[in-house]
Amino acid sequence: MMNSVNLTGRLVVDPELRYSPSGTAYATSTIATQRNFKNQQGEYESDFIRLIASGKRAETFANFLHKGSLLGVSGEIRTGSYEKNGQKVYTTEVNILQIAFLESKSSNQNAQSSQQNNQYSKGKEIDVQDDDLPF
């Protein structure tokens, strides 16, 4: 079986870069991806998917992308779980294997200065707060 996923969307938070005790870089963020269909209200919905990168890819991810950046990623799905307040919490994230920068730095800065570019071309504005995310 093959575990492969491709996503295109915008980052909803700046990537967070950390280093393990052995010096390996790890970066995490969340991407918003728009669904291809409208809901009953005639609006497009989005999914919020956690991303993780390691090594040089993590440093590139964290140093060149930020909240609002449009990107494409290819990777593999990883699942896990942990206990929180006696409840088992399940997690799903995409381990990034390839990153595609889908806009120039200057166009991203222009878009970000006009309302953080939280709007997709066909969708409605997305207002996401840190408290809205499930992790």
User: Residue 129: its pLDDT value, please?
Assistant: 53
Predicted structure pTM score: 0.73
* Sign of the four-CA dihedral 92, 93, 95, 100: positive
Q: Would you give per-residue pLDDT tens digits along the chain (135 residues)? A: 699 999 999 999 999 999 999 999 999 999 999 999 899 999 999 999 999 999 999 999 999 999 999 999 999 999 999 999 999 999 999 999 999 999 876 655 555 554 444 444 444 444 555 555 544
pLDDT at 103: 86
Whole-number Å distance between alpha carbons of 61 and 48: 18
Class (C level, CATH) for 5-119: mainly beta
Please check whether residue 64 is in contact with residue 11, taking contact to mean a CB–CB distance below 8 angstroms. no
Written as one letter, the residue type at 52 is: I
Encoded tokens for 37: 């269909």
In this prediction, residue 86 carries a pLDDT of 94
For residue 9, count other CB atoms closer than 10 A to its CB.
22
Alpha helices in the chain (DSSP H): 55-64, 105-113
> Tell me, what DSSP letter sits at residue 107?
H
